[in-house]
Each structure stands twice: as C-alpha cells, then as structure tokens.
Structure 1
Amino acid sequence: MKTSELKEHEYNPYYRAYIEALGEVDLMKTLRKQIKNYPQFLASIPEDKLNYQYAEGKWTVAEVLLHVLDSERVFQYRALRFARKDQTPLPGFDQDLYVPQSGAGNRGLDSIIEEYKAIRQSTITLYESFEEDILKRKGVASNSNMSVAALGFIICGHQRHHRNILRERYLQD
C-alpha cells in the first residue's frame, strides 16, 4: 500500500504531517528501509549527547529515542486490535507521562538500538501478516478513526519526524 491510497478519514488530522513527510512511499518498503537506516543514524549519535537537552524543559536525546520506541509499540498495538476487528475504543496515551518513566537516563545507545531493531522487526512481521483488506480496517483511538494502514504510515512518519528534530535541534555542532 502507498501513502496516496490513504483517505483523510482514515486518521486524525494531527497525524497528517507525519504521513506527508514520507512523500509517496510503499508501507512495507519504508518499514524495511528504516530498520536498516535508522540504527545507522542512532549509532552516529555520540554517547555523551544522550542526556543533552537543547533547551530547559525539553526532552533529552535518549528520551526522544525512547519516545519513538514507546510510540511505535502503542501504534502497533492499536493496529493489532483493529486488524482483529476489536471495536473497543482505545484511549490516548500521554507521552509526557511515559517519558519520565522510561529510564532514558540509564540507557546506553547499544541497548536503545537493539530495542529499536526488535520493535521494528515485530512491526514488520505484524504488517507482513496483514492482507490488503485488513489494512483498510478501522478502529477508534484517542477519539479518532484510525485505519491499520494509517497506523503503519504514522509509525514511519513519526520516526522520521523525530529523526529530523534530533538532527536540527540536538545534534548541531
């Protein structure tokens, strides 16, 4: 499935920027491309930058990285529920509650990279199991309709968004 096949009613407008940031891409190719490229990007981050904040009250580099991991897990869980036709509305999750509980300050880059690879491989395996009709299934999360396909693209776009923020605001010399 390609981004252009998504309809606007398949996701909350809040996520539009994540999807648009991807351009015209194939979902499975993007998931697979990112599992190769993102660990290389992570490995290029100096270990001494993990606890860096670019401004008071902003997340550290490690907190941003773990937020990306937590979010992928949440979006993946939503996709599984909707794929299985579970119509129970799912609540949102408060990223500002999750981040302080992540233990980011105690994590090294190698462990973050390994966790990312495991989570992304799980996402790929899950999405490989979905037939085309399953990608179109919808459910409600955070009071908005979401399709299984949209959640996959949001996972990819959310990662790209935060990689860009890390490059622009955290990793500038």
Structure 2
Amino acid sequence: MIPFPETNEYNPYFDQYIQHLKGKDVLAALAEGLEEVNILVASLTEDQLKSAYAEGKWTIKEVLQHIMDTERIFCNRALRFARNDKTNLPGFEQDDYVPFSGANERNTMELLQEYNAIRQGTITLFKSFTDEMLARVGVASNNKMSVRALAHIAAGHEKHHVHVINERYL
C-alpha cells in the first residue's frame, strides 16, 4: 500500500484532489477509476460526450483527454523523481492543451483504449516503486512534490473530474 502523503509533500493546491483519497488505498482507487470511467463513457451518447455544461467549458471528451494528458505528466514527474532526477520540472498550462487535443474528433473507443493503456501504465508504474522511491521528492512548477503525492494527485484528479461530469453534465 502506498502511504498517504503529508501536507508538506505537495503544493496545497492539490489538496482538492488528494482529499478524495483519504483513508483509501490509492492503487485500488486507480483501478476503481479505470472501471468507473469505462462504465461512464460507455453509458453516454456521442452527443453527450461532445457536450459542455456551459459556454467556454470543456466537453466530456475533452475532459477525458485532459485527464489522460495530465496523468501522463504526473507519471513523468513521478518516474523522474523516483529515479532521483533533481531537475526543476516546468509546469504546464492545461487550457493550452485542450484546444489542440482534437478530442471531439476522436473515435470514442480509441479514446477509451488510450485511457485504459495510460491508466494501466500508471498502476504498473506506481506498483514498481519501492517505499524509498515513493518517499523521494522533486520539484515541479517550483513546488516540492513526492512520488507518493503524485500517485494520490493522479487518482484524486480523475475523481474530481468524474464528480464534475456527474454533477454538471448529466
């Protein structure tokens, strides 16, 4: 089981995601998220997947692409920190990624296949880390962040967006 991170292991901004995992096994949460997203996407029509809840907001397909893009970035950071990379990693602007993702034009099944591959890779990556690796800390966006915090952030980030989809889109 991956220990829950201390508050000094991540930027307080990420508390909104990490709190979704309080008292939960993060690897189990990542696996549950995999199933939950597949069930959710399979239950929606193409029109629903291409809809946004308000003007200027992302569509559900764009949200899914955002989850995937962000998870890849979090995993890259986790790998680098686990391997003791001391590079101060840059941040990224999520709002710059989405318009160029082409998510709404993508085949839904192909989008889900990519999501499944990424999530399976995330689970496998975090399972491969020793306790020592999970406790390692690096710097991203000028903030300290532990490998175990990144596992919780990735899982909580998805839970946050699934909650928003259920509350505002459906």
| TM-score scaled by length of structure 1 | 0.93
Return the letter of the residue paired with 2:14.
Y
Correspondence for 1:107: 106
CA contact (8 A) 2:2 2:148 kept: no
Q: CA deviation at 1:47?
A: 1.6
Counting matched residue pairs gives 170
Correspondence for 2:5: 6
CA contact (8 A) 1:85 1:137 kept: yes
Residue by residue over 1:72-120, the C-alpha shift from the partner in whole angstroms, topping out at 9 and shown as x without a partner, is: 0000000000000001000101001100110012113211211111001
Correspondence for 2:155: 156
Q: CA deviation at 1:2?
A: 5.2
Q: CA deviation at 1:55?
A: 1.2
Does structure 1 residue 18 correspond to structure 2 residue 17?
Answer: yes
Cα distance in 1 between the residues matched to 2:82 and 2:21: 23
| TM-score scaled by length of structure 2 | 0.95
CA contact (8 A) 2:2 2:27 kept: no
Correspondence for 2:97: 98
Structure 1 stretches of 5 or more lacking a match?
none
CA contact (8 A) 1:90 1:141 kept: yes
Cα distance in 1 between the residues matched to 2:49 and 2:37: 16
> What percent of counterpart residues are identical?
51
Return the letter of the residue paired with 2:62.
E
Task: Name which of structure 1's ranges 68-77 and 47-56 shifts more when overlaid on structure 2.
Answer: 47-56
Task: Name which of structure 1's ranges 32-41 and 143-152 shifts more when overlaid on structure 2.
Answer: 32-41
